[in-house]
Amino acid sequence: MKICFIGLGKLGLPCAEVIASKGHDVTGYDIKKCKTNNVDQFPTIAGAVNDRDIVFVAVPTPHDPDYDGRAPTAHLEPKDFDYTIVKEVLEECNKHMHPHQLLVLISTVLPGTVRRELEPIVTETRFVYNPYLIAMGTVAWDMVNPEMIMIGTEDGTETGDAQELVDFYRTIMENDPRYVIGTWDECECIKVFYNTFISTKIGLVNMIQDVAVQQGNINVDVVTNALKDSTQRIMGPSYMKAGMGDGGACHPRDNIALRYMADQLHLGYDIFDSVMNAREQQARNMAIEILKHGNKIKFTSNSYKPGVEYTDGSYSLLVQHYVKELGGWLVEENPMVVVRVHETDDIAPGNYTVFDPWRSYAGPNRFVHYGNTRHNV
């Protein structure tokens, strides 16, 4: 098929390239020129969408930088995402597309946004909402091995536009994913609540870590492993190791946006505010424990997850914020304490203490297995 991607950033470009690798003819547009051998880039949206069967829009719906989760946000007024870029792109696509083409938005938006603000822009072509469940560092693999594919139409109809998209995805998938077809609003919900469910899960797991530190005689891994294997009612194994908190460009900001939604809908309570407060207090608790072992601190990474360079919503940076707020110093050489941000981080031998929230380091340095207080008996 003839496919187009508008937005060739850290999400759009890997997706466009993997679709091209499956034999489809792929064009693209971005405000910045990208390095790619598989996607035919155009200098305008008009040129990129011309004669395409399906046009995917993968542009940001950002928050203010102060809301990305790398610093405390619970005290800030909750805000919706910024849909300016999405609206501008949809308006431009609408000028140059026709009813035989399918316009597909994959950007994250709050429930109700498509119906209220975005679909009215699209008057000349057909429109589907199709958010992705993709993690940075594994975008190309996630694209063709998703847990599920969400396809939102105006009335949730499973034929027509939705079926056309299903037929396309079946040509590129390497697994056999579930296809969840619903209204625009239902798919908006699935996307943001999927992310915030993970935030809540991580917050609960790290609460057990706090209990272990304060109570004593508890190895947090004994508790979380018992819960992890309790699959009859409560969970599966993902996100069931306490350590650094939730981060990235999606999860913290989705919780913040849902705080805004809870306020706008007058729900009378705000679970998401509690999740973000817990995330921040847990980071502060960790900073307090780090500083018990010295006030000159080095963090092994600023990234929010191993294997990627992104610092969006980084929990490492959030803990660093509290270390500095509480009087600690961040240094690069001769540290008194090294904080092992990622479980996979290697630590060179040295005359310092390794603070290890993941409890998996057993190297040549002195170390503190944060969350395991059994050895204090």
* Whole-angstrom distance, CA of residue 269 vs CA of residue 291: 35
Segments in the chain forming alpha helices (H): 12-21, 45-49, 84-96, 113, 139-144, 161-169, 184-215, 220-228, 251-264, 271-291, 315-325
Residue 261: pLDDT band with limits 50, 70, 90: confident
Any domain includes 87: yes
Residues 140 and 236 placed together within one structural domain of the fold: no
Q: What is the value of pTM for the model shown? A: 0.85
Answer with the one of 134, 151, 182 that is the final residue of a domain.
Answer: 182
**For residue 376, is pLDDT > 80?**
no
Any domain includes 65: yes
The torsion defined by the Cα of 339, 344, 345 and 349, in degrees rounded to 10, comes to 100
Q: Percentage of residues in the chain with pLDDT exceeding 70?
A: 99
> Of 199, 259, 253, which Cα lies nearest the Cα of 82?
253
CATH of the domain at 275: 3.40.50.720
Mean of pLDDT values over 323-335: 94
Answer with the one of 157, 182, 207 that is the final residue of a domain.
Answer: 182
Q: pLDDT tens digits for 35-56?
A: 998 999 999 999 999 999 999 9
Residues 112 and 209 placed together within one structural domain of the fold: no
Any domain includes 302: yes
Answer with the one of 141, 156, 182 that is the final residue of a domain.
Answer: 182
Domain count, the chain: 2
Mean of pLDDT values over 56-61: 96
Helix or strand holding residue 146 (H, E): none
* Whole-angstrom distance, CA of residue 234 vs CA of residue 227: 8
Any domain includes 14: yes
Bridge partners, 297 (sequence order): 330, 337
Q: pLDDT tens digits for 119-163?
A: 999 999 999 999 999 988 899 999 999 999 999 999 999 999 999
Any domain includes 51: yes
Residues 271 and 325 placed together within one structural domain of the fold: yes
Any domain includes 283: yes
Residues 72 and 220 placed together within one structural domain of the fold: no
- Structural domain of residue 301, as residue ranges? 192-376
Q: pLDDT tens digits for 73-132?
A: 888 888 899 999 999 999 999 999 999 999 999 999 999 999 999 999 999 999 999 999
Mean of pLDDT values over 307-319: 92
**For residue 279, is pLDDT > 60?**
yes
Any domain includes 187: no
Residues 64 and 155 placed together within one structural domain of the fold: yes
Residue 356: pLDDT band with limits 50, 70, 90: very high
**For residue 246, is pLDDT > 70?**
yes
Residues 347 and 309 placed together within one structural domain of the fold: yes
Mean of pLDDT values over 326-334: 94
Residues 264 and 370 placed together within one structural domain of the fold: yes
**For residue 313, is pLDDT > 70?**
yes
> Of 88, 95, 92, which Cα lies nearest the Cα of 117?
88
Residues 154 and 211 placed together within one structural domain of the fold: no
Residues 242 and 318 placed together within one structural domain of the fold: yes
For the chain, give the mean pLDDT: 94
For 280, the 3-state DSSP assignment is helix
Residues 33 and 82 placed together within one structural domain of the fold: yes
pLDDT in the model for residue 377: 43
Q: Give the CA distances from residue 33 to residues 10, 36, 318, in Å, rounded to whole numbers and listed in that order.
A: 13, 9, 32
Mean of pLDDT values over 314-337: 95
Residues 207 and 279 placed together within one structural domain of the fold: yes
Residues 222 and 280 placed together within one structural domain of the fold: yes
